[in-house]
Amino acid sequence: MRRKAIVFWILITLISTFTILFSESPSSCFIPGILLMCFLPGFALMRFIFRSDEVHLLEQLCLSIGFSLAISSVEFVLAFHLFGKVTTNILIPAWGFTSIFLLSLNFFRKDTSVTSLFPGWKTFLAVLSLIALASFFRFTHLGYSEYQGDEAMFCLSNSLKLVNGDKSVLFTEKKPPLERIVTTMVYLTFNSYNEFLVKLPFALTSLAGVIVFYLLGRQLFSSLVGITAGILAAINGYFIAFSRIVQYQSIVILCALLSILLLYRFLQAVDKNQITRFLLSGVFFLAFGVFTHYDGAFVLPAAVYIILHKWTTGTFKHAMSLTTWSLLLFALIVSLFYVPFIFNPNFAKVFETYKHSRFSSELSFHYETLFKAGSLYNSLTYIICLVAFSVFAFFRKFSFEMRLLSTWFIFPFVFLMVIVSRPGTHIYNYFLPWLILAAVGLENLVHLSGRHFFITSLRKYATTLTLLGFAVLAITVIYHVYTVFIKHDPEYIWNQPRESIQKGGLFGFPYHRGWKTVGYLYRTNQVRGNYISNEKDKITSYYLRSNQGAKPKYIILVEKPQSWKYFTPPEDYAVSAQVLYKGKPTITIYEDRSNVQEVKIYHSEEYELLYDRLDRMPRG
């Protein structure tokens, strides 16, 4: 990196750091916060590790996001152990100092190489269109939905405890704490728990994941495979859903893809320094994926396969020492969570819970999870296309790349579809290699159609017709995921009969009822007393900061609840207030008939910002 560029980025880091430290407004912290939490530390580390010509411009962007999330999260955990409580005045300077320190190290590196760009304008337009498509499904109406289920319970409610210095939530829950850490980092950065801001890092991570799908497909096979895999990822309903909620999956996906991409570059490398850099970087993301969630372990067989193939097909004399350093790096990162977690008294309870809820003595193939749930999230057309294209993927030489994808696919597929009793949305893990396999299948189909199209006179147009056919299929899937995830008037899922919807968790679907209005009334003591609701306590307890209780003074009934529960209040209760969203009643509050004089009407749009301001802390 040139010295002028280093100075520029140091100045940007300083400006971002001081803006966040001395501003209480989330809007003024928006760009500085995104830069400091999701880009600058990782960018500085990435530029120190790699020369400009070693990594593609898009690789630099995705590596910067991945490294930044890792650095910022690890520093949060370390700060918690050192100070017992993490505040903005501790965390933000730590990120700023780390970024400046890593940028300063670049002063001592001579890097006059030029970053590689796209090979041509057609590829540039294709990738730009891919990014636009993925961005549309990840950022459009991102802040519309209120927090749901696990988001409210595991992430937001536990983040409130972390902000107050309660370390126990890091190691006592049933899964790793990264999603809770990121949620808390967002609050300390932006001074807000606003839905759009808290979900933004996960949406950015998901977008980076789509880009890495393209990069990995291109690296393993060709640009056509890369673009096709990217499109399949951009419109994948599971990936869209995860990008729009406060959950770990988007980070696991990015880490898995980056680890395989970097390890494949390690496989291709000849120079000792390049081998070392790509191996350790790949292992870093492999470990961070496992640190993020147990799902990160599903990519381990594929990663080990690459490393073993490298060492067994070459004569690199430093293989043992590099393997040792890789194992140490992996163990160091993973141990940040798993060592205190395993030695925590709560571990045995968590283990037993998982064992009884996820496993059974009988093996069965969960085809309904793939086709019924998969069709809900993705459309049946999408699932059938993946199956069909994957068959054509094997109409070619069974190369190392094909064996790699097969290894990557088979382990999570067998484990989740046969061994586990309730795989749920965890099946997204085998979608990662599956999408690339399907893209390979489409490329094979394009080549085959050009040679064997059944109408001889149209054979010269067969390639174009095949790609047009794929485009038509993609448009039908796009319409489905738009209807299900983006369009919210009406909200598709909550207007369907319960029996037609899968049992179990529903994630990422639009849901807005105006809970901030009721929460504002409760938190400002305009409404006091116990309550019960037909909505899940996970949701109500976060927004009202009060759990549902016995002998309720209020009964709060919500239209189309996520609980799918409905009941009629006792006759001695009458409507005392209603919450309207876009002029339609969404929440009705009942209380003792003798206390009701008039029905109060609250328009939820007027209370959104007021509620967000309740969580702001003074700075400066």
- Asked whether residue 40 is domain-assigned, the answer is yes
- Asked whether residue 462 is domain-assigned, the answer is no
- Asked whether residue 1 is domain-assigned, the answer is yes
Last residue of a domain, one of 161, 190, 219: 190
Instruction: Say what the pLDDT of residue 620 is.
Output: 58
C-alpha to C-alpha distances, 357 to 92, 262, 353, 424, nearest whole angstrom:
40, 35, 6, 12
**266-325 pLDDT tens trace:** 999 988 899 999 999 999 999 999 999 999 999 999 999 999 999 888 766 778 889 999
- Within a 10 A sphere around the Cβ of 402, how many other Cβ atoms? 17
Instruction: Say what the pLDDT of residue 404 is.
Output: 97
Cβ 583 vs Cβ 609: under 8 Å: no
Nearest to 523 by CA among 544, 553, 549: 544
**327-379 pLDDT tens trace:** 999 999 999 888 888 887 777 777 777 666 677 667 778 777 888 888 899 99
Which residues in the chain show pLDDT less than 50? Answer: none
- Asked whether residue 358 is domain-assigned, the answer is no
- The whole-model pTM stands at 0.94
Instruction: Say what the pLDDT of residue 537 is.
Output: 93
- Within a 10 A sphere around the Cβ of 491, how many other Cβ atoms? 18
- Asked whether residue 123 is domain-assigned, the answer is no
Which residues are paired to 575 by β-bridges? 590
Q: Sign of dihedral through CA atoms 118, 122, 124, 126?
A: negative
- Asked whether residue 503 is domain-assigned, the answer is no
- Asked whether residue 393 is domain-assigned, the answer is no
619 burial (CB, 10 Å; 0-12 / 13-18 / 19+) is middle
Q: How far apart are CA 261 and CA 215, in angstroms?
A: 8
559 burial (CB, 10 Å; 0-12 / 13-18 / 19+) is middle
Range of the domain at 181: 1-117+144-190
Instruction: Say what the pLDDT of residue 459 is.
Output: 60
Packing angle of the helix pair 57-83, 272-292 (nearest 10 deg): 50
- Domains contained in the chain, number: 2
Cβ 75 vs Cβ 95: under 8 Å: yes
- Asked whether residue 27 is domain-assigned, the answer is yes
| Structure tokens given for 307 | 């490393």
b/e map 362-387, b = 16+ CB within 10 Å? eeeebeebbebbbbbbbbebbbebbe
